[in-house]
Amino acid sequence: MNDMTQNNLERALKIVGTRPPRPDGVDKVTGRALFGSDKSLPNMLVGRVLRSPYAHAKIISIDTSKAEVLNGVKSIVTCADFEDFPSEFVPNGEMIVNLKDITRNIMAREKVLYVGHTVAAVAATSEDIAEKALGLIDIKYEVLPHVLEVEDAEKPDAPVLHEDMMTIGIEPSPKKASNVAKRVEFGFGDVEKGFAEADLIVEREFTTQQVHQGYIEPHACLASVSEDGQADLWCTTQGAFVVRNFCSKLLGLSAAQIKVTASEIGGGFGGKTVVYLEPLALALSRKSGRPVKMEMSRAEVFTSSGPTSGAKVWVKIGVKNDGRIIAGDCVLKYQAGAFQGAPVGPGAMCAFAPYDMVNVRAVGYDIVVNRPKVSAYRAPGGPISEYGVESVLDEIALKLEMDPIEIRLKNAAKEGTIAPYGPKLGPIGMIETLEAAKAHPHYSAPLGPNQGRGIASGFWFNIGGETSSSITINEDGTVGLTLGTTDIGGSRASMAMMASEELGVPMDLIKPVIGDTNSLGFNFLTGGSRATFSTGMTVVRSTREAIEELKKRAALLWEVDLNQVEWVDGHARLIAGDEPKTMSLAQIAKQAGKTGGPIMANCSMNVTGAGPSLGTHIVDVEVDTETGKVSIVRYTAIQDAGKAIHPAYVEGQMQGGAVQGIGWALNEEYIYNDKGELENTGFLDYRIPVCSDVPMIDTVIVEVPNPNHPYGVRGVGETPIIPPLAAISNAVSRATNIRFNELPLSPPKVLAKLMHG
């Protein structure tokens, strides 16, 4: 038997590490690829959602009678059509969710908690009729005062969103409900003692605004529930199995009754890990007996999906004169949106994680406000907390007149470091990325007038999780891979490459597809940078099992013992014997019928051993001091990928993360008016960067292999969104000699600070 866990870290590789075109590429560039809203069924209805106009209000009554009799309306659902659930927290990727909250988020019950909160949904024979029907639904509200910012939500007299919310994690536990859902704390040592020993202490407060993932494809789905209760759901998602499980619970169906197929996805970044339209479409279809298609408008995506938290961050760091950090302390207050579950836990865990800390404490608060419930967004919570820490560290470097890379090198976490959140770290690439940054020509290039250079590092954990995939050897010698962890960033290519490397057959003979929820065992969603790591693990193992079977068949045909056969370059080879004898995969496959039937293998496991990925970014900015406009002049992203299976897609992740970070740092923000209405519900005023806003992002892939993966893979998708916030803020601060502690660094805000300090 082949060793399933054997790693290939030392082996010379033929396919892994090259840059072949992606298997799904042609369909994408020719427009053939089917996205969430691209499917239709006969007799299909259009579903539309009625949303709350108020930020906070009690629902007194809902009257749908007028809408129901409108010609063309086939079904209407409200909270009365969904079961209620007791409070129970379950993990979902890097986030924690609660069914009691999810059922209230997909359809408001007692109260509406944000403008855009769903209150009813209609399925009708046309868009116009559905829209008209929404206008005929009569809802009586009692408007309540609302609260949008964490500092207001914390106040004793703040309007309380959930009358039963008692803060978890404080002793003694409170008797009075508040908007603070929980307090978390991580760390070790004695920070007070550390600060007492420090030669220099810098303490600062930071603000970040709520931002959206900005995926180009709006949420969309097509549901069809038959008379016997079998449900078929097509949707754009990062996790078909997770959608199945949510929907089966919310609708009272069994897992076997729902088949979910993930469409191609136009971006998710964590935002497509929960359900919004899917349970509504299923409920509307079940009630009407007809397929129902739903799609959000861009404005709905902004008001009613799951952006990430705005936050207040306080950071205090004490160092010795030589730059060694002696104590680090931070308090993070994250907006959760209307229901608890801000990513403050991971934020607190990773705040100081790039460093080897002596005394460290990170405290986080999860605070509900009248905004949409936050969802995961690329390294959820990490960019916010690390922005604070990396900014303070930069200021300390300036005060000590130390190079900002040197101070990080002096404190860098390495193999054996105890992470602030508990575990001892395995091999990690913090030092290697810093050294690569220092050596990069960008770091020593001259700067022009009004320009500044910023650097920052970032740490992200990455995860494994439940994974299942299968491989089939076709009769003609081609190979099929069925994968269940949704491909959101090119993972089909990486999976085919690993199978190709193992099998020794060209990649273009391997066809990877994403299976639906009936074709494989449970697969966790694509998040936590787990796809290439976890699915890769099952693909390598199932491929090795298939090779074992191929060898068996060759042994049978040659009438020799299995141990006489080895697998080399896509061929079975007889080890002993007078003359070398080989049989290709295709020859074996052709005779599979007479040697025992089709050849197939699968692997299902709960993958563990994900390796954290570290990154360091260098950015040059130019500040127009008369207008406050910041331009990104040059940008270099350096990251430890463990092993880049497909370097171009690793670089793509690094560049994409950097660009989203640039948007977060420079112009993106949710802007609310005093009624709690979101004012910028489109890309004109919610400013993600356009192409011309960013230079070509240079990348350097560093490879410090993860020993727990056969090829050394670490997840790479999330880390690159962490450094940009601080790197850009540090660069602007250095260009202007004024410390900036607030994001976004939009022209009006920068100019105001330049003018008034």
Partner 1 sequence: MEYVTPQSASEASQALLQEGAFALAGGTDLLVKLKTRFVSPSIVVDIKRVPKIMTIEQSAEGWWIGAATPCAEIVEHDSLSKDWSGIVEALSLIGSTQIQGRATLGGNLCNASPAADSVPALIAAGATCVISGQTKEREEAVENIVTAPGITTLSKGEFIIGFKLPKPKLRSGDAYLRLIPRSEMDIAVVGAGVSLSVTEDGKIEAVRVSLGAIAPTQVLLTGLEDIFVGKEPDDDAIQKLVAVAEKACKPIKDKRGTIEYRTKIAGVLAKRAFAIALKRANGY
Positions that interact with partner 1 (CB under 8 A): 626-629, 631, 666-667, 671, 679-680, 684-685, 687, 689-690, 692-693, 746-748, 751-752, 755
What's 709's DSSP letter?
Answer: S
Nearer to partner 1 (CB atom), residue 115 or residue 555: 115
Whichever of 565 and 665 has its CB closer to partner 1, that residue is 665
679-691 as b/e, with b when 16 or more CB fall inside 10 Å?
Answer: ebbeeeebbbbee
Nearer Cβ to partner 1, position 23 or 744?
744
What are the C-alpha distances in Å from 467 to residues 72, 320, 398, 520, 607?
44, 46, 47, 9, 7
Residue 452 is inside which H or E element, if any? strand 451-460
Burial category of 678 from C-beta neighbours within 10 Å (exposed 0-12, middle 13-18, buried 19 and up): buried
What SS3 state is found at 482? strand
For the bound state, the minimum distance from the C-beta of residue 674 to partner 1, rounded and expressed in Å, comes to: 12
Q: Which residue's CB is nearer to partner 1, number 199 or number 683?
A: 683
Of 143 and 671, which CB lies nearer to partner 1 in the complex structure? Answer: 671
For the bound state, the minimum distance from the C-beta of residue 71 to partner 1, rounded and expressed in Å, comes to 21
Which residue is associated with the tokens 């038997």?
1
Specify the residue, 444 or 692, whose C-beta has the smaller distance to partner 1. Answer: 692
Question: Whole-number minimum distance, CB 328 to partner 1, in Å?
Answer: 34
Residue 267: CB minimum distance to partner 1, A: 18
**Pairing, β 613-624 against β 451-460:** antiparallel
Q: Do the strands 89-92 and 200-208 form a parallel or antiparallel pair, or are they unpaired? A: unpaired
Say if residues 486 and 454 touch (Cβ distance below 8 Å).
no
* Shortest spacing between CB 687 and partner 1, in angstroms: 6
Min. distance of Cβ 676 from partner 1 in angstroms? 15
Q: Give the separation between CA 165 and CA 238, rounded to whole angstroms.
A: 30
CA distance 262 to 284: 20
Q: Closer to partner 1 at the Cβ: 257 or 680?
A: 680
Q: For residue 223, give the H/E element and its range.
A: strand 220-225
Whichever of 14 and 687 has its CB closer to partner 1, that residue is 687
| Residue 318 or 628 with smaller CB distance to partner 1 | 628
Helices 277-288 and 240-251, axial angle in degrees (round to 10): 50
DSSP characters over 305-360: S--B--EEEEEEEEE-TTS-EEEEEEEEEEEEESSS--THHHHHHHTTTTB--SSE
Cα separation, 294 vs 285, in Å, equals 11
CA-only gyration radius of the chain, Å: 27
DSSP annotation of 211 reads B
Q: What is d(CA 118, CA 106) in angstroms, rounded to the nearest whole number? A: 6
Q: Which residues make beta-bridge pairs with 232?
A: 224, 259
| Calpha distance 433→723 (Å, rounded) | 12
> Shortest distance, CB of residue 659 to partner 1, whole angstroms?
13
Closer Cβ to partner 1, 282 or 735, answer by number: 735
User: Least CB distance from residue 743 to partner 1, whole Å?
Assistant: 14
CA distances from 68 to 50, 130, 131, 352 (A): 14, 11, 13, 56
Question: Beta strands 613-624 and 629-640: pairing type?
Answer: antiparallel
Take residue 454 and report the two structure tokens written for it.
């910023």
Q: Are 542 and 471 in contact (CB under 8 A)?
A: yes
* Residue 203 vs 683, nearer CB to partner 1: 683
The CA–CA distances, whole Å, from 273 to 248, 337, 467, 486, 527 equal 15, 16, 16, 11, 8
Give the shortest CB-263-to-partner 1 separation in angstroms.
23
Distance CA 416, CA 423 (A): 9
Minimum CB distance to partner 1, residue 680 (Å): 5
Distance in Å, CB of 679 to partner 1, minimum: 5
Q: Report, in Å, the least distance between residue 628 CB and partner 1.
A: 8
- Measured CA to CA, the distance from residue 167 to residue 165 in angstroms comes to 6
Nearer to partner 1, 447 or 751 (CB): 751
Cα(391)–Cα(376) distance, integer angstroms:
24
CB closer to partner 1, 595 vs 680 = 680
CB of 412 to partner 1, least distance (A): 36
3-state secondary structure 543-589: HHHHHHHHHHHHHHHHCCCHHHEEEECCEEEECCCCCCCEEEHHHHH
Q: How far is the CB of 54 from partner 1 (least distance, A)?
A: 20
In angstroms, give the least distance from the CB of 669 to partner 1: 9
Strand 231-235 with 220-225, pairing: antiparallel
Would you say 120 or 630 has its CB closer to partner 1? 630
Q: Which amino acid is at 496?
A: A
Determine which helix (DSSP H) or strand (DSSP E) holds 392, and give its type and residue range: helix 382-399
Question: In the complex, what is the shortest distance from the CB of residue 694 to partner 1, in angstroms, rounded to a whole number?
Answer: 9
CB of 299 to partner 1, least distance (A): 9
> The tokens 């979101």 sit on which residue?
678
Which CB sits closer to partner 1, 1 or 684?
Answer: 684
Q: Compare residues 197 and 685 and give the one whose CB is closer to partner 1.
A: 685
Residue number, 39 or 749, with CB nearest to partner 1? 749
